[in-house]
Amino acid sequence: MAAGLGSRKKQRFVIVGVALVVLMGAVLLVLFALGGDSLSLFLNPSAAVEKNMKEGQRFRLGGLVKDGSYTKQADGLTFNFTVTDCEADIPVSYHGILPDLFREGQGVVTDGAFDASGVFIAETVLAKHDENYAAPGTMPENTDGCKHPEERASSGP
Amino acid sequence: MIPEIGHFALIVALIVSLMGAVIPHMAIARGDTRLMALAGQFAYSQFLLASVAFGALTYAYVISDFSVLNVAANSHTAKPLLYKVSGVWGNHEGSLMLWVLILSLFSACIALGGKNLPLRFRSRVLAVQSALLVGFLLFVLLTSNPFMRLDPAPFEGNGLNPLLQDPGLAFHPPMLYIGYVGLSVAFSFAVAALMEGEVTPLWARWVRPWTLAAWVFLTAGIALGSWWAYYELGWGGWWFWDPVENASFMPWLAATALLHSSIVVEKRDALKSWTILLAIVAFSFSLLGTFIVRSGVLTSVHAFAVDPERGIFILAFLAVIIGGSLSLFAWRAPKLAPSGIFSLASRESALVLNNILLATFAGVVLVGTLYPLLLEAVNGTQITVGPPFFEFAASVLMSPLIVALGFGPLLAWKRGNISRASQILLPAVIIALVVFWVTIWQDAAGTFMTGFGIALGLWLIISVGMEINKKANFWKHPAGFIGRAKKLPRATWGMSLAHAGLGIILLAITVSEAWTSEALRLMKVGDSENVGGYDFTLEQVTPVAGPNYTAVRARFLVEHNGRFIAKLAPEDRVYSDPPMNTTEAGIYPTFLGDVYAVIGEYAGSDAWSVRLYFKPLISGLWLGAGLMAIGGLISLSDRRQRIGAPAGKKRSKRVLKPKKAGA
């Protein structure tokens, strides 16, 4: 390392130089990362179908748990259910502990990706019991022929 | 009646703040010292009025006065008293009240402790503080009045989100807010300095204790929040790069940078405009953080738009404060005298590097946090920027920082000697390299980052040790080592502890990420499961009832090679108001790591689903963060720091404080 740099100008030059290099590195980093896997979309089932999400492509899936779709596998820890927004249905499989407030007919937000057979393998499942505690805009609106969960008797798992 | 008194106090506080924001500047323009001195009286009155208002709201919470809308919406009679009180700041309106209270408290502290500041400067600072308070009071009164009445009053309140009903989270917001608002002092000092057109080493000495205090609280607040996430959310995770967490992390990064750059201003009269800019940016991050957390913009841009009044006020306020101070900076900063020269290998250069890396990291976190909001606002696409993005940025930007951190304290001001520093640090280099090698060689592929992380952590801890060793000269004269080490300035000890704390955090992150053992099982009473060498036996599952919840409590016996380690009692709680369930993990920290158990739902035929973990070294996270905070407090107790901060009388108290924070 050279000792004295001599002039103030040179010193400023070096500092600005290093700062620019780091900053450019950061910009590249951001561009690289924002184009890659670290982004995940939040989609409802029909948007997931429409976007034709590929196998292994991570996204968050939000919607209602379809009535009568919930089953538990023999190991007692793997669950299958269907997430619907009343227009499209997506089968979901989850290995883990479901939240207590998970119910058929209630809203869920899951995080995961499709496997080869088109089943959404969820890594996390969040249940939303009360609309007051759901993020606005994350739950499907009422549509004809698909009643809002509160308007029908929900049959719990 | 009491809520109306609170409301009235807020209005009077607004008037006093308006006067406090204008009169000192007029006094300075006229050179009227008696009028300048009035700034302190304004500050005391603001604090008094804010206390009355906050007290009124707290009273309404404690007696469950549901005729106050805010109380009805966020409280419940069955809540324990602690959560009735902490419920005050568990919502938008109340948290703003806390802001107002702490902001006015800091103003009063400046007025009280800043007696040795030049009167003119002190008045300027207090006037800027008052202007900030005007903004917040207007925001509270116009858009978020916590004293709004509800007629007819409901019989029962809605209750507080059960996740927030936890001792850790009860104190997390006040800590964090003291940190956030503490940065307002640095901001006001910076703006006042720009107005006066002069930044001196003395200025840096005044600002540093405040920044340091704010930083200590930010550090403790963030650590508390992370600890809460670890035991309350029941996933064993402790940091999610959630926008809410990022909102507190960005001011912390900026405050850390500010802390270091103001040393350069103080010791070497250099980096002046940069330091002023950092002070402005750090507080802007605080404002941004508070608002993105509190405005509802996070859950969805749509939610933000639902209440356009608040949104527009927030944006306008941010624009005025940030835009105004930055314009003032652009206008006045060139007037600041140019800075001293230093060589490439010097303490200054190391600190400049620290600042470049920390500021860039803060910028990257900002982009990652705001990008989803912008994208949703522009074309409605909802995305999340996930942990890989932030983790990658952290490893790329923080690794060089930590490498340089080993050298920094050993380099002299102005012109350092890298090869001498390298000689001193040789043991650290060797140990780090050996450990790196052993880690990689032990496990097969995929452990490069693990080895690298451990090596970096060790490097930092050992180089801190080497540095103390060198300063107290152990090798040459081992006899008086302890005496000499004791005589090192407190600021040196504070710095060393904080740096070592960072090293410990890094070790804890790396080791716990790499070698956590986890099991998800169905267990019946009497079943046993081995996780990471620890045997978890489910002994009992019993129903329990709390004040406002019912729960299932499991009891696990944990043994290691037949030796008793701990009994864990995780709970699965169901709250009634609002209806929601929470998990209370059962955790026992051992020297090697935490054993951690969570109980899930009843799976039929006497079996329960459970999640069991062994998380090696994870306590290091909170130990490290605690060391950082204690380091900050010790440094704060250094006599040389005391100028401009509340004066010497409290010395003994301050020295005692660290012990409390460490517990």
The H or E element that residue A129 is part of is none
Name the residue among A37, A20, A14 with its Cα closest to residue B360. A20
Examine the pLDDT at A130 and tell me if it is beyond 50.
Answer: no
Question: Is the pLDDT confidence value at B272 over 70?
Answer: yes
pLDDT over 80 (residue A147)? no
When pLDDT is cut at 50, 70 and 90, the band that residue B461 belongs to is very high
Residue B135 reports pLDDT greater than 70: yes
- How far from chain centre, in Å, is Cα B663? 18
Q: Is the pLDDT of residue A140 over 60?
A: no
User: pLDDT band at residue B327, thresholds of 50, 70 and 90?
Assistant: very high
Which residues lie across from B542 on neighbouring strands?
B553
B339 confidence band (pLDDT: 50, 70, 90): low
Q: What is the pLDDT of residue A34?
A: 63
**CB neighbours of residue B290 within 10 Å:** 22
pLDDT at A33: 66
pLDDT for A98: 80
Which of B165-174, B272-281, B488-497, B612-621 is the least confident region?
B165-174
Q: Alpha-carbon distance B406 to B395, whole Å?
A: 17
Over range A115-125, report the average pLDDT. 89
Residues B45-69 have a mean pLDDT of 95
CB contact under 8 A, B609 and A76: yes
Confidence at B160, pLDDT banded by 50, 70, 90:
confident
Query: Band of the pLDDT at A124, cuts 50, 70, 90?
Result: confident
Task: Report ipTM for this prediction.
Answer: 0.72
Enter the pTM of the model.
0.88
DSSP assignments along B597-626, one per residue: EEEEEEEETTEEEEEEEEEETTHHHHHHHH
Non-local (6+) Cβ contacts of B161 within 8 A are: A133, B90, B578, B580
**pLDDT value at residue B307:** 61
Q: Confidence band (pLDDT; 50, 70, 90) for A5?
A: very low
Confidence label for B295 from pLDDT (cuts 50, 70 and 90): low
CA dist B398 and B551 (Å) reads 43
Q: Using an 8 Å CB-CB cutoff, list chain B residues near A135.
A: 299-300, 303
Q: Of the ranges A35-44, B206-215, B513-522, which one carries the lowest mean pLDDT score?
A: A35-44
Top pLDDT among B179 and A9 is at B179
| DSSP state string for B365-395 | HHHHHHHHHHHHHHH---EEE-HHHHHHHHH
Q: If you average pLDDT over residues B356-383, what whole number do you get?
A: 86
What would the pLDDT profile of B380-402 be if each residue is shown by its tens digit? 777 878 788 888 888 888 999 99
3-state SS class at A137: coil
Distance (Å, whole) CA B269 – CA A14: 19
Q: Please tell me the least confidently modeled range out of A95-99, B143-147, B395-399, B566-570.
A: A95-99
For residue B365, what pLDDT band results from cuts at 50, 70 and 90?
very high
**What's the pLDDT at B146?**
92
What pLDDT score does B503 carry?
A: 96
Q: Which of A5-9, B150-154, B181-185 has the highest mean pLDDT?
A: B181-185
CB pairs A-B closer than 8 Å = 140
Cβ neighbours of B300 in A, within 8 Å: 135-138
Looking at residue B186, its pLDDT comes to 95
From CA B257, how far away is CA B351, in angstroms rounded? 9
User: Which residue out of A10, A38, A98, A154 would a mutagenesis test of the B interface target, given it has the greatest number of B Cβ atoms within 10 Å?
Assistant: A38
Q: Is the pLDDT of residue A27 over 70?
A: yes
Of A63, A61, A65, which Cα lies nearest the Cα of A48? A61
Residues A66-89: tens digit of each pLDDT: 888 888 887 878 899 998 887 888
Least confident of B9-18, B395-404, B464-473, B633-642: B633-642
What's the pLDDT tens digit per position in B542-557?
A: 999 888 888 999 999 9
- B/e letters for A140-149, b = 16+ CB within 10 Å, e = fewer, are beeeeeeeeb
Closest Cα in chain A to B574? A100
B651: part of which helix (H) or strand (E)? helix B651-662
Q: What is the pLDDT of residues B213-254, one digit of tens each?
A: 999 999 999 999 899 888 887 777 888 888 888 889 999 999
pLDDT at B587 > cutoff 70: yes
Q: Note the pLDDT tens digit of each residue in B493-550.
A: 999 999 999 999 999 999 998 888 889 888 999 999 999 899 999 999 999 988 888 8
**Residue B578: its pLDDT value, please?**
72
pLDDT for the residue numbered B268 = 85
Average pLDDT, chain B: 86
Is residue A109 within 8 Å of A133, Cβ to Cβ?
Answer: no
Contact B439, B450 (CB under 8 A): yes
Q: Taking residues B583-587, what's their average pLDDT?
A: 89
DSSP secondary structure of B78-112: TS-HHHHHHGGGSSHHHHHHHHHHHHHHHHHHHHH
pLDDT of A138 reads: 42
Structure tokens at B585: 């993990």
Contact A29 B352 (CB under 8 A): no
Q: Are B148 and B69 in contact (CB under 8 A)?
A: yes
Answer whether residue B109 shows pLDDT above 50. yes
Local structure of residue B233 (DSSP, 8 states): S
A40–B386 C-beta distance less than 8 A: yes
Say yes or no to pLDDT of B617 above 60.
yes
Q: Which residues pair with A62 in a beta bridge?
A: A109
Q: What is the pLDDT of residue B656?
A: 37
The percentage of residues in chain A with a pLDDT greater than 70, rounded to a whole number, is: 71
pLDDT at A131: 40
Buried b (16+ CB within 10 A) or exposed e, B63-92: ebbbebbbbbbbbbebbeeebbbbbbbbbb
Contact A18 B397 (CB under 8 A): no
Q: What pLDDT score does B443 carry?
A: 66
Q: Do B345 and A3 touch (CB under 8 A)?
A: yes
Q: Beta strand A59-65 with A39-43: parallel, antiparallel or unpaired? A: parallel
Among B246, B367, B384, B518, most A C-beta atoms within 10 A, so best to mutate, is: B384
Q: What is the pLDDT of residue B299?
A: 55
Residue of B247, B258, B274 lying closest to B210 (CA atoms)? B258
User: What is the reported pLDDT for B320?
Assistant: 92
Measured between beta carbons, which residues in chain A are less than 8 angstroms from residue B343? 1-5
